[in-house]
Amino acid sequence: METPSAGNVKFFSGESIPLELHRVRMVQKLNLWSIEHRLKSIQEAGFNSFLLSSRDVFLDMLTDSGTNAMSDKQTASMLEADDSYAGSQSFCRMEDSIREVFGKQLVLPVHQGRAAEHIISQVFIKKGDVVPMNYHFTTSKAHIELAGGKVLEIFTDEALNIASNCPFKGNIDLQKLEKVIADYGADRVAYIRMEASTNLIGGQPFSLENLKEVRKLASRHNIMIVMDASLIGENAYFIKRREAGYQNTSIKEILLEMCDLADIVYFSSRKVSSSRGGGIIMNRRDLFDRMRDLVPLFEGFLTYGGMSVREIEAMAVGLMETLDESVISQSPSFVEYAVNQLAARGIPVVTPAGALGCHVDAKGFLSHVPQAQYSAGALVAAFYLVSGCRGMERGTISTDRDENGNDVLADMELMRLAFPRRVFTLSQAMFVVDRLTWLYKNRELVGGLQFKEEPKVLRFFMGRLEPVSDWPVRLMQRFRAELGSEF
Ligand SMILES: *Cc1c(COP(=O)(O)O)cnc(C)c1O
């Protein structure tokens, strides 16, 4: 049977350029304000990009959560939603999609990814338990700790190397995992958490080979595997591109194989299906029964789980579209373009290119700014100032203090520039590279930040900071001196 191109179209010039395999049929106007306006905006936002108003942002690269472009078919499906409180047909359609795409029969709907983490943590973690994982995610860690558990990160030595050509930096180190089980005893391991396309270390995938080994070990010790599948589509895409033996396997077969190796799979459909909501899915009835009663308590009745039925319809269609390589390849190919362009200019960026976004290494970019002055946070503020583009700090600010109130310096100090799925064009990606190149040339002007108002938990969301000197003003003056009246 003939099929259309699934992506990775070659340009005869030999240049590596991502090609959009969709056309734009609805647009949203963007504002690129003056740098004077942007300075005021970032000051008012306490130098925290989460507190910027979107009207002051040009390219919003904060996150891919709930910001992906929906397809015409997703939008159309929203008109057919069934508003029934119980037994909604929209939920039945979502169940059908999940069974087909992930191969899990039992579905608990939740309002977003962290709600799944809340329920799983409350049910399966006892005080003093440990949860080994390839790497933590902010909300997963917070929920595990809230339930009295402890996160153990057992990544490989390659995981934190900024410049690497290791295809699977998201793998778990199997020897360290064996040691954790021996040290703590299998009874105290609540479950092993595998995060697809490990978000905080640069959207880096794990291999199927690694997951299979983790499965063997888990089965031998009777430990559950819980897979965070928020970025599973991209992880499957990287397996097809990078893992020996999978080049001719379909994304669908890879997804089914991945899910089959986990006892519980949960996801944020703000990401994986370009809609909003989430789910916890499994085949084992005993696990389902233990979690089921918490859904009506915290989320909503079992056939909507806090989601609007319109979003449930969009999710059912969006999950099916995840199987289409021309859809799932879009974000990774834009990330790859930006990463390669930056690396070619000597700008420190996490390689190989991963899922979700391009991750600029702030320790390398601003090597004169101490980590204790939040170099990644400073880089995000400086980049907004010179470009109007909003990235996200993924470093020490995103790590809460320890029980004694000391700052915990993050393993990696990153500015993440997300490429939400099918949202930005190539010239916008080029603009990002261009402004970042200018900032890199003028990086010595950028200074650090300190906290003015600091929440205790997940401080990166609402915390307010200030610059340690008047560096933002000096950066603005350099911009004006070099670029005249440019925006
Ligand atoms: C976004 C994300 C979550 C949380 O999902 P929300 O829908 O934003 O609550 C959990 N895990 C990973 C890996 C994520 O990327």
Q: Is 228 a catalytic residue?
A: yes
For the question of residue 384 being annotated catalytic, the response is no
Please report the pLDDT score of residue 306 as a whole number.
97
The residue out of 323, 348, 376 marking a domain boundary is: 323
Dist. CA 33 → ligand 1 center (Å): 31
Catalytic residue among 271, 276, 363, 421: 271
Answer yes or no: 137 catalytic. yes
Is 394 part of the annotated catalytic residue set?
yes
Indicate whether 154 and 274 sit together in one domain: yes
Report the CATH number that the domain containing residue 351 is assigned in CATH: 3.90.1150.10
From the CB of 275, is ligand 1 less than 6 Å away? no
Atom number, ligand 1, closest to the C-alpha of residue 356: 15
Asked if the peptide bond before residue 352 counts as cis, ω within 30 degrees of 0, the response is yes
Q: Are residues 60 and 84 in the same domain?
A: no
* Residue whose CB lies within 8 A of the most ligand 1 atoms, among 133, 137, 264, 421, for a mutation test: 137
Q: What is the pLDDT of residue 7?
A: 79
Assess contact for 131 and 191: CB atoms under 8 A. Answer: yes
Residues 136 and 234 in one domain: yes
- Give the contacts of 72 (CB within 8 A, at least 6 positions apart): 25
Same domain, 346 and 212: no
Task: Specify if 116 maps to a domain.
Answer: yes
Domain span holding position 350: 8-64+328-483
Distance CA 374, CA 46 (A): 14
Please tell me which residue in 228, 263, 361, 400 is annotated as part of the active site: 228
The Cα 154–Cα 264 span in angstroms is 20
Domain boundary among 288, 323, 358: 323
Does one domain contain both 174 and 126?
yes
Q: Is 114 in the pocket of ligand 1 (CB under 6 A)?
A: yes
Q: Which of 82, 96, 99, 138 is catalytic?
A: 138
Q: Are residues 365 and 314 in the same domain?
A: no
Number of domains in the chain: 2
Residue 107 CB-density burial (10 A; 0-12 exposed, 13-18 middle, 19+ buried): buried
CA distance 18 to 39: 33
156: domain CATH number is 3.40.640.10
Give the C-alpha distances (Å, rounded to integers) separating 35 from 42, 303, 474, 484: 10, 48, 12, 11
Substitution candidate for ligand 1 out of 135, 139, 267 with most atoms within 8 A of CB: 139
Task: Calculate the alpha carbon distances from 318 to 35, 171, 275, 277, 468 in Å.
Answer: 38, 27, 7, 12, 45
**Which residue's CA is minimally distant from atom 10 of ligand 1?**
113
Q: Is residue 32 located within the same domain as residue 76?
A: no
pLDDT at 49: 98
Closest approach atom of ligand 1 to CA 64: 1
**Domain co-membership, 248 together with 146:** yes
- Please indicate whether residue 460 is annotated as part of the active site: yes
Ligand 1 centroid–CA 137 distance in Å is: 8
Residue 137 near ligand 1, beta carbon < 6 Å: yes
CA-CA distances (angstroms) from residue 362 to 201, 263, 367? 13, 37, 7
Q: Is 230 in the pocket of ligand 1 (CB under 6 A)?
A: yes
Helices vs. strands in the chain: H and E counts, helices first? 19, 12
Ligand 1 centre and the CA of 443: distance in Å? Answer: 32
Closest-lying ligand 1 atom to the alpha carbon of residue 271: 1
Last residue of a domain, one of 269, 302, 323: 323
Q: Which atom of ligand 1 is nearest to the CA of 198?
A: 13
Per the residue annotation, which of 114, 394, 422, 459 is the catalytic one? 394
**pLDDT score at 149:** 98
| Domain match, 127 and 225 both | yes
The residue nearest atom 5 of ligand 1, judged by CA position, is 113
pLDDT of residue 3: 86
Residue 266 backbone phi and psi in degrees, to 5: -130, 160
Q: Output the residue whose Cα is nearest ligand 1's atom 3.
A: 113
> Is 90 in the same domain as 52?
no
- Token pair recorded at residue 38: 């942007």
Tell me the pLDDT of the chain (487 aa) as tens digits. Answer: 788 888 778 899 999 999 999 999 999 999 999 999 999 999 999 999 999 999 999 999 999 999 999 999 999 999 999 999 999 999 999 999 999 999 999 999 999 999 999 999 999 999 999 999 999 999 999 999 999 999 999 999 999 999 999 999 999 999 999 999 999 999 999 999 999 999 999 999 999 999 999 999 999 999 999 999 999 999 999 999 999 999 999 999 999 999 999 999 999 999 999 999 999 999 999 999 999 999 999 999 999 999 999 999 999 999 999 999 999 999 999 999 999 999 999 999 999 999 999 999 999 999 999 999 999 999 999 999 999 999 999 999 999 999 999 999 999 999 999 999 999 999 999 999 999 999 999 999 999 999 999 999 899 999 999 999 999 999 999 999 999 999 9
Amino acid identity at 229: A
337 and 196 share one domain: no
Return the closest-CA partner of residue 259 out of 212, 316, 201, 293.
212
Nearest atom of ligand 1 to the alpha carbon of 278: 7
Q: Quick one: 177 and 246 in the same domain?
A: yes
User: What whole-number distance in Å separates Cα of residue 393 and Cα of residue 359?
Assistant: 10
φ and ψ at residue 204, rounded to 5 degrees: -95, 130
- The answer to the question of residue 312 being in a domain is yes
The number of beta carbons lying within 10 Å of the beta carbon of residue 22 is 12
| Strand 106-110, strand 449-453: pairing | unpaired
Decide whether any atom of ligand 1 lies within 6 Å of the 233 Cβ: no
- φ/ψ of 247, rounded to 5, equals -60, -30
Quote the ligand 1 centre to 323 CA distance (angstroms).
Answer: 20
Q: Is 197 a pocket residue for ligand 1 (Cβ < 6 Å)?
A: no
